């Protein structure tokens, strides 16, 4: 592709991305998010004791007690600052809109930083002389799940941030033939701790390291052990306190807020694994709750590209206030249909990248992280069955979608080098998808709307 056109499209999509982030900052309140009241209660509990003590809530304080604390520290600090300036009868409640909005701004900055780190990693891996990468930017921008995750108070935004750093350090290690310094050990240890203290899904990103150690050739095993053993020990030392605390209080390192069953494939019905004809029909005609019931793949797909559960572009709680909410199902059906194109393209280019770079330690790490994330999440959904399937949310697995996009962008850039006209055709198709799906990236709530205000 012509370099001027390439740069123009990169700049245009960057501006569109900034517009989406700013628009949602102005229109969406995180109190509308998944289990928002429970997440806010976590923040309020932390803030109640700061700055004198750092105490974590229990199951009696919030049903989100099982979450690691990183996502709640920033809003709790803002809560503390707010209560020292605000004059109100109920400081905790009155400060919620302020720390909610501040957290959205902070998480938007984290997302931008994450994209930058991804781009830097691609630049290093491809040995390119430019950091801007149109392939990655357009693919990451069309995933609507990004904008819901940023807009809510959640730990997943921190997972993708620490994951991007983890990927950057691994790619750098490979380039340097795993020659490292004590500084590298500290960096990796801090990132491992960050993943563990963001959300439990972060552990899915550590299993591939162990697998690559087990499967490595004997001549490589020693140099791998030298970096991974001390960095992992450091990560464990910095994060184990939280999980030990869960075990001492609840008898398990992986506490959750609904009863855990014994793992059995039959704990979920057949439709969980294989969609019925009715569910497939709803997937492309009305992909909003409760039409897909407890179906794993169709809900995950609809929640990735649209808003199946209705916490962003619509919600059943405020139908009279939100914009176009009664008609949104029809639009999201078209979003699902058109998004088949990038879905298939991402999977195909991902496979191409895996085959082309099969000798790369870094690419193999990303490949196994996709696999462990998918099957780890599937294991979780089977272990905690619900009749509605409300544990099936794309935000929980945003890391997997980012990894798929990352690998796909590597192969897509290779296509630009070899067949620029074909590459341009794909980019134009993705642009059409971005333009058509644009409304699914935006909150459909009035300016500064806040429930109860």
Domain coordinates of the chain in residue numbers?
Answer: 3-263+337-441
CA atoms within 13 A on the CB side of 34: 19
DSSP code of 311?
S
pLDDT in tens, 133-144: 999 999 999 999
Q: Is the Cβ–Cβ distance between 138 and 92 less than 8 Å?
A: no
Residue 287, both tokens:
């992909």
Which residue matches tokens 């995933």?
143
**Which is nearest to 378 in space by CA: 366, 365, 363, 396?**
396
Span of 81-95, 261-275, 380-394 with lowest mean pLDDT? 81-95
**Which is nearest to 153 in space by CA: 201, 103, 110?**
103
pLDDT at 88: 67
Q: Positive or negative CA dihedral for 258, 262, 263, 267?
A: negative
pLDDT in tens, 278-314: 999 999 999 998 899 999 999 999 999 999 999 999 8
CA distance 192 to 171: 16
pLDDT at 92: 77
CA distance 77 to 51: 8
> DSSP string of 174-235?
HHTTT---HHHHHHHHHHHHHHHTT-GGGGGGTHHHHHHHHHS-HHHHHHHHHHHHHHHHHH
CA atoms within 13 A on the CB side of 195: 24
pLDDT over 80 at 453, yes or no: no
Q: Is the Cβ–Cβ distance between 174 and 166 less than 8 Å?
A: no
Residue 356, both tokens:
């082309």
pLDDT at 84: 85
pTM of the predicted model as reported, rounded to 2 decimal places: 0.95
Residue 34 phi/psi, 5° resolution?
A: -60, 125
The percentage of residues in the chain with a pLDDT greater than 90, rounded to a whole number, is: 80
Q: Is the Cβ–Cβ distance between 164 and 118 less than 8 Å?
A: yes
């Amino acid at each position: 592709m012509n370099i001027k056109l390439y740069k123009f499209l990169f700049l245009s999509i960057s501006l569109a991305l900034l517009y989406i982030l700013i628009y949602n900052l102005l229109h969406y309140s995180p109190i509308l998010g998944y289990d928002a009241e429970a997440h806010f209660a976590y923040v309020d509990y932390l803030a109640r004791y700061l700055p004198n003590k750092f105490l974590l809530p229990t199951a009696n304080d919030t049903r989100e007690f099982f979450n690691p604390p990183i996502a709640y520290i920033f809003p709790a600090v803002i809560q503390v600052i707010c209560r020292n300036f605000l004059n109100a009868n109920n400081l905790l409640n009155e400060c919620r809109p302020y720390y909610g909005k501040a957290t959205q701004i902070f998480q938007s900055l984290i997302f931008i930083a994450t994209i930058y780190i991804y781009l830097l990693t691609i630049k290093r891996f491809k040995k390119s002389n430019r950091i801007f990468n149109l392939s990655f930017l357009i693919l990451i921008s069309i995933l609507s799940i990004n904008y819901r995750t940023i807009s809510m108070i959640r730990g997943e935004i921190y997972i993708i941030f620490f994951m991007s750093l983890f990927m950057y350090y691994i790619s750098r290690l490979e380039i340097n033939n795993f020659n490292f310094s004590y500084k590298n050990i500290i960096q990796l240890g801090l990132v491992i701790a960050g993943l563990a203290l963001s959300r439990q899904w972060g552990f899915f990103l550590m299993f591939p390291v162990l697998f690559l150690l087990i499967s490595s050739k004997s001549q490589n095993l020693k140099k791998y052990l030298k970096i991974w053993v001390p960095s992992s020990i450091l990560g464990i030392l910095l994060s184990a306190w939280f999980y030990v605390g869960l075990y001492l209080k609840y008898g398990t390192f992986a506490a959750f807020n609904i009863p855990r069953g014994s793992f059995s494939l039959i704990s979920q019905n057949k439709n969980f694994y294989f969609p019925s004809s009715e569910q497939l029909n709803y997937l492309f005609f009305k992909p909003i709750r409760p039409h897909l019931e407890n179906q794993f793949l169709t809900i995950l797909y609809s929640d990735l590209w649209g808003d199946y559960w209705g916490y962003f572009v619509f919600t059943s709680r405020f139908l009279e206030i939100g914009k176009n909410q009664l008609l949104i199902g029809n639009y999201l059906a078209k979003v699902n249909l058109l998004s088949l194109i990038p879905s298939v393209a991402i999977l195909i280019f991902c496979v191409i990248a895996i085959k082309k770079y099969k000798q790369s330690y870094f690419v193999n790490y990303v490949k196994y992280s996709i696999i462990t994330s998918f099957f780890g999440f599937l294991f979780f959904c089977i272990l905690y069955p619900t009749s509605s399937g409300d544990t099936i949310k794309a935000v929980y697995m945003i890391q997997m979608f980012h990894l798929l996009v990352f690998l796909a962008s590597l192969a897509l850039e290779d296509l630009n080098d070899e067949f620029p006209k074909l590459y341009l055709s794909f980019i134009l198709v993705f642009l059409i998808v971005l333009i058509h799906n644009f409304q699914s990236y935006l909150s459909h709530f009035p300016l500064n709307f806040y429930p109860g205000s």
